[in-house]
Amino acid sequence: MNLIKFVPIMITCCFGIASANQSPPKLDRENQFAEQYPERYAELIDALNLDYPGLEKVKAALQEDDTKTACNELIAYYRTSQGGTDFRPIDWSKRSIWKNPDEMIEDIYEMQKVKSKVPRAESGYLDWKFNPEQSGFQFSFLISRMGHQHSSLQKFHVTNDPKYIKYVYDNLRDFILGSPQPDFSGRHPNTDLETSEFPWVTLNAAYRLKNVPEYFYNLLQLEEFYADQETLLLILSSLAEHGEFINTYGMGGDGNWATTQLESLVKFSSYFPELKKSQEWAQEATERYAEMIDRSIYPDGGQIELAPGYALIVFRSSLGIYNTLKKSGYPIPEALTASMNRQLNYFAWIMKPNGRLLCHNDGDPDTYARDEIIEAARELNNQEALYIATGGQEGIRPEGPPSRFLEWSGFAISSDGYGENVQWSGMNIGPLGIGHQHADQLSFELYNQREILVDPGRYAYSWTGGWVPYYFHTLRGHNTVSVDGGTLSFMGYDESMLESPKSKDSDVLKDYRVTNNHLSIEPLGEYEKFEITPASDFFLGRTLNPYAGKRTKSDRMPGDAVHERAMHYERGKFWVVVDRITSDRSRELEAYWHFHPHCEAVEILRDGSVATQDADKGNLLIVPIAGNVSLKGKLYKGQEQPFKQGWFSERMNEKQPSWDAVYSTKAGKKANFGWLLVPFEGEYVPKASAELRMRDNFATIKVVVDGQRHDIEMEFNELPELRP
């Protein structure tokens, strides 16, 4: 099926853009592209479809062997070419100076709060593979994506100083000449990220393919201030090379990398339709994208990595391809629009009342999505997502109570309404996800007019200082329970499970979640339970992975243990959480509750309960329910030694102290205990108590809140079998 065909159209020149008929600008660098870079020149000319409308003068000059004129006419063509219409005129309103261009001119760069002077190699070019110790490989990843040059162009707009335009030329030239594409014969660029040519990892090349076309067309509109046509042609030759690179190495895989790579190629093809392979690239990438997105998006809209922030990147890529195809008038695959609507519903349900997404796996708690959801829901006429995201101001109210269980991704969402000043909770009782896992299964986030119980965030990808492996990735860093101080171990996932549906009767399927637990290959329900009624919600889940020791995730803990967690939400009133731990021996257990840093007045009360008591704010009381153990609580904030506790990372490479309540106990082979969570407002702490009785697989909880009694019953599954 021929999905893509780029058709030339006439473009009216906008104010401030030199037309092909205007006098060429005074050059700040003489254009000797063909003489200085004969191989690149030949490759660029070979990449062009010289019969494409508008390239007649280029073709004529080449027939006369007039390389100088051919180069000049090619630049003249791009001043008004069809592909650059999205960037004419320059939209300065969408930019900000978020990097320091004056520091960048001096080779000082800041990436995700890590600032460093980038050394230069003996060649004189920047060391594009350089990584400061505290950043891991992320520094070179980010600098090589070229997003920082937006700030330099914006600084020019503010100051009218052409040195900021010159910097963009020089920086791009530096990368092209100082970090040429390596020879990947016999290997893939992503084979080993730790020893790879970092700038040429496919994801980084894809981001350049998204960013640099905008700079190319922007620089053409700024030639009256600074003109370097030789570098413009160098950039153009590099872009053509990048298109072929992504087509060769970036068309496979799944997850946010694949979606970004495919989106970049579709968009790039629309920006440069005169390249011979543009139509072929766009068609193949679109077909591959529709196939891949249909496989990597669960029926409930969750993306298989189960990292909502990265899922948002995937959705943006889907929307980018959708808009590119729609604008060009080309067919949009049904699989693409269907998956986008599923994703929209998913985001709407896992979005907290303040517009931020539930944080799970690698992600930042400050990931805000409401505005994007609303805009996309309007575009796709998704009335359910629109209603949730606007707090009922637009759209159609979803059927049933304002709670959902997402039966493939495993997120259990409870709420008492739609809007900002409501109660909300989110818990994961499903698979771990792939590629970005944290030990956060059964973890719990809670919102009462503001965020109260939170995920700690990812903090970093570098393990420097032990922050990630010993806190942010572990059970200790999440609102759940640890066994003997350890965390959950992660085993590798089997990509073959993505290739084709497996029979429900196969041994592979029966054993898959217990031995792996990265993916759902059927709706959850074998180990999970849920019930949503107008008055209440009930969710039940369990850990499926073995526990690791205290040192590393792969250091297996002696013996075996299984944690089951049941949650009851009495709509608009309170939550009850019951934990049951089954083991082959006695264990030391710790339960963690992590409070958002804006919860300043956190106190353990006389009866052992913990409460936030900030004036005129939504607050929370947590009452421990002893069951058959004795729970002792302690508060931590900003502790580093002898172990890390009481930290929160709202965004990458930033952390700050926050209150953690840790309850510990020594338990036998079967432990059961629970928690009564009562939301309230202001400094008045409600009077609340709870008693738990466990008989066989049934839990009975008597709850009293301000004199009002509630009797709650929860049914667990049969006791789990333990591993030898």
Average pLDDT over residues 175-196: 83
Q: Does residue 418 sit within a domain?
A: yes
Overall average pLDDT of the 638-664 stretch: 94
Where among 221, 240, 257 does a domain terminate?
257
Q: Is residue 389, in this structure, part of any structural domain at all?
A: no
Residue 149 included in any domain: yes
As a whole-number percent, the residues of the chain with pLDDT over 70 amount to: 90
Q: Do residues 71 and 36 touch, judged by C-beta distance below 8 A?
A: no
Return the H-helix or E-strand segment holding 411: strand 411-415
Q: Give every CB contact of residue 379 below 8 A, 6+ residues apart in sequence.
A: none
Rounded Cα distance between 195 and 184, Å, is: 13
Instruction: In whole angstroms, give the CA distance from residue 279 to residue 4.
Output: 6
How much is the pLDDT for 25? 65
* C-alpha to C-alpha distance for 640 and 516, rounded to whole angstroms: 33
Q: Let me know: does 683 contact 615? Beta carbons within 8 Å.
A: yes
Residue 402, preceding peptide bond in cis (omega within 30° of 0): no
User: Could you read off the pLDDT of 541-577 as tens digits, one per residue?
Assistant: 998 877 776 544 456 788 889 999 999 999 999 999 9
Q: Look up the domain containing 522 and give its range.
A: 405-715
* CATH label of the domain that carries residue 221: 1.50.10.100
Residue 341 has pLDDT above 80, yes or no: yes
Global confidence as pTM? 0.81
**Of 198-202, 305-309, 483-487, minimum mean pLDDT range:** 483-487
Best mean pLDDT range from 31-40, 252-261, 287-296, 444-453: 444-453
What are φ and ψ of residue 75, in 5° steps?
A: -65, -45
Q: What is the mean pLDDT of residues 446-468?
A: 89
- What's the Rg (C-alpha) of the chain? 28
Give the end of a domain, one of 237, 257, 277. 257
Among residues 220, 241, 257, the one where a domain terminates is: 257
Q: Which two tokens stand for residue 238?
A: 């590099």
Residue 369 lies in a domain: no
Q: What is the pLDDT of residues 303-320, one digit of tens each?
A: 988 999 999 988 998 998
DSSP 556: B
Tell me if 97 is assigned to some domain: yes
Report yes or no on 503 lying in a domain: yes
CATH number for the domain harbouring residue 669? 2.70.98.70
Q: Are 646 and 685 in contact (CB under 8 A)?
A: no
The token duo for 341 is 């609507």
Residue 191 pLDDT > 60: yes
Per-residue confidence band for 17, with pLDDT thresholds at 50, 70 and 90 = very low
Calpha distance 638→657 (Å, rounded): 4
308 domain residue, yes or no: no
In a domain, 323, yes or no: no
- Number of domains composing the chain: 2
